[in-house]
Amino acid sequence: MIISSRSAAVVCGLVATLAVGLFPPAAAAADEPAGPAPRVDLVLDVSGSMRTRDIDGKSRMTAAKQAFNDVLDAVPEGVELGIRTLGADYPGKDTKVGCKDTKQLYPVGPLDRTEAKTAVATLVPTGWTPIGPALLGAAQDLGEDGDASRRIVLITDGEDTCAPLDPCEVAREIAAKGIHLTIDTLGLVPDEKTRQQLTCIAEATGGTFTAVQHTDELSRRVTQLVDRAADPVVNPVATEGAARCADAPQIKPGLYSDREKFSEHRWYRVDVLPGQELRASVSVGADRAVDQDYGVLLRAVTVHGREIVRGSEAGDGRTDVISSGLRYPKPEQDDTDDDDKQAAETVCLQVSNSFSAPASVKTTPGLPVELTVDLVDAPDTASDVASFGLGRGWWLLGVLALTGLVAGLLWGWISRLRLVWSN
């Protein structure tokens, strides 16, 4: 009896201790100072076809103007917004002149709503649809300096007819500059060709394509896109991996972007101290028409070429990115006296992709790669499969009870023997 009540006390104490230590307080998220203001350029098609009256019984231009009014009212604080037009000035027939017809209507900067609205109200559907030059112009409006997020919202009702400058290629070139630029496209009652081209432009920059049939859809979507631009984002740092580990750039924990051609691989180097865990993940984007099946491989390799761990993924069908990750915990060194042993190990990270594309698809610039590297403390390794090596279940109880019973019986029997002897 004494034994059992003592064990009960121990149990209670143990349970109480556990209950108190269950959840440690959550780490508070510190507010950080705001970064550079996000910049948005709205690019509006003012070509002659915008006169067509097929959006809620009004002309496309009227719908666009109404949407712009709503959007300009709803622009969040801290967003620098500009407006550019295409096809607003030249009504003639000359392709060469018509295809240069794009101008900045309102410069990218802090927004004066009245001024911007007045500028939009003056627009009259006039000319051609030079989307390619307009995108180049918009990229220029947004500037290439600084680290702000940039977004172009392109609103058009027809495809670009200004060959040979393919707006899709233009978009990809702009995105490849590493200026954190996204192009979202909206097609007003788009036909098949327009849809294809706008989808291609959006895909090339990680943006979205929307087909618009109604005025409220247009204003809601553009407002949503501008709001999206206002969300603070961590932008990656551009880096360039090498073809061999020996020449690879040394990278610290962080977020990196790179470009990788079809079936190319790139190397990066990371220093991992004993007792640290390396966590790396990689996404390779499909920013153009690629073949149906694709894959990505991320390997952690020692400087001597031994593979430590790998992450791989394959897929098929329509996709924006394919991603994989790995973690490599480097165990703590037992012998801490020796300084040499505490030295960091250089781990080579290899990023390879198995995307392929039809021969008609341009292979430069390469596919966008996003690499995340984290270094954290290494985890406690498991000494036993079960948590703390504890048992669970009725079998455990049965075995313990049986053991106790047998031990008790033996003990009683032994004490009986002893009594016999003592008598």
Partner 1 sequence: MRITGMFTGSLLAAALLLGTAGAAAADETPDPSGTATGSSDGSDSAQAPTEAGTSFRTATAFRPGQRATAGASTGDYLYWVFPVDVGQRATVKAKIALPDSAAARKGPVTWQIDVYDGLRRRQACVYGAQTRTLTADKSSVELRCVLRTVRAWAEPWSADPLPGSYFVRLTVLDAQEQDLGLPVTTEIEAQAPSQGGAQAVDGKLSVPLTPGRTTVSQSGGGASSEGARLAASGVEPEGGWSSGRWTDRWLWTVGGGVLGALAGIAGYTLARPARRPAAPRV
| Nearer CB in complex with partner 1: 15/246 | 15
361 lines the binding site for partner 1 (CB under 8 A): no
CA dihedral 244, 247, 252, 253 (to 10 degrees): -10
User: 93 to 112, contacts with partner 1 by CB under 8 A?
Assistant: none
- Least Å distance between CB 216 and partner 1? 9
385 and 334 Cβ atoms separated by less than 8 Å: no
137 and 84 Cβ atoms separated by less than 8 Å: yes
- Cα 192 from Cα 212, distance rounded (Å): 13
Distant-in-sequence, close-in-space partners of 231: CB < 8 Å, separation ≥ 6: none
400 lines the binding site for partner 1 (CB under 8 A): yes
372 lines the binding site for partner 1 (CB under 8 A): yes
Instruction: Choose one: 92-100, 110-118, 125-133, 383-391; the region binding partner 1 (CB under 8 A).
Output: 383-391
- Least Å distance between CB 361 and partner 1? 17
- Give the total of residues touching partner 1 (CB under 8 A): 120
| Nearer CB in complex with partner 1: 305/393 | 393
385 lines the binding site for partner 1 (CB under 8 A): yes
Strand pairing of 367-377 and 276-285? antiparallel
Task: Quote the distance between the C-alpha of residue 240 and its chain's center.
Answer: 19
Distant-in-sequence, close-in-space partners of 26: CB < 8 Å, separation ≥ 6: none
369 and 286 Cβ atoms separated by less than 8 Å: no
413 lines the binding site for partner 1 (CB under 8 A): yes
Q: Which of 323, 350, 352, 353 binds partner 1 (CB under 8 A)?
A: 323
| Nearer CB in complex with partner 1: 129/215 | 215
E strand spans, 56-149: 58-59, 80-86, 102-109
The contact pattern for partner 1, residues 272-291, with x = CB under 8 A and - = no contact, is -----x-xxxxx--------
User: 25 to 84, contacts with partner 1 by CB under 8 A?
Assistant: 25-27, 29, 31-35
Is omega for the bond preceding 107 within 30 degrees of 0, making it cis? no
| Nearer CB in complex with partner 1: 119/166 | 166
Per-residue tokens: 254:
């962080």
User: 217 to 256, contacts with partner 1 by CB under 8 A?
Assistant: 217, 220-221, 224, 227-228, 231-237, 252-255
Q: Which of 119, 165, 211, 357 binds partner 1 (CB under 8 A)?
A: 211
CA distances from 89 to 96, 128, 234, 364 (A): 14, 9, 39, 34
327 lines the binding site for partner 1 (CB under 8 A): yes
154 and 201 Cβ atoms separated by less than 8 Å: yes
| Nearer CB in complex with partner 1: 133/180 | 180
392 lines the binding site for partner 1 (CB under 8 A): yes
- Cα 194 from Cα 199, distance rounded (Å): 8
- Least Å distance between CB 316 and partner 1? 9
16 lines the binding site for partner 1 (CB under 8 A): no
| Nearer CB in complex with partner 1: 71/282 | 282
- Cα 255 from Cα 270, distance rounded (Å): 13
| Nearer CB in complex with partner 1: 99/131 | 131
Q: Which of 145, 339, 340, 384 binds partner 1 (CB under 8 A)?
A: 384
Q: Which of 47, 102, 197, 324 binds partner 1 (CB under 8 A)?
A: 324
339 lines the binding site for partner 1 (CB under 8 A): no
Site of tokens 């149906």: 292
User: 165 to 184, contacts with partner 1 by CB under 8 A?
Assistant: none
| Nearer CB in complex with partner 1: 114/386 | 386
User: 133 to 152, contacts with partner 1 by CB under 8 A?
Assistant: 147
303 lines the binding site for partner 1 (CB under 8 A): no
- Cα 380 from Cα 377, distance rounded (Å): 9
Q: Is 388 left (phi over 0), alpha (psi -120 to 50) or beta?
A: left
Strand pairing of 181-188 and 209-212? parallel
Residues in the chain: 423
| Nearer CB in complex with partner 1: 10/124 | 10
383 lines the binding site for partner 1 (CB under 8 A): yes
Strand pairing of 265-272 and 276-285? unpaired
272 and 329 Cβ atoms separated by less than 8 Å: no
407 lines the binding site for partner 1 (CB under 8 A): yes
393 lines the binding site for partner 1 (CB under 8 A): yes
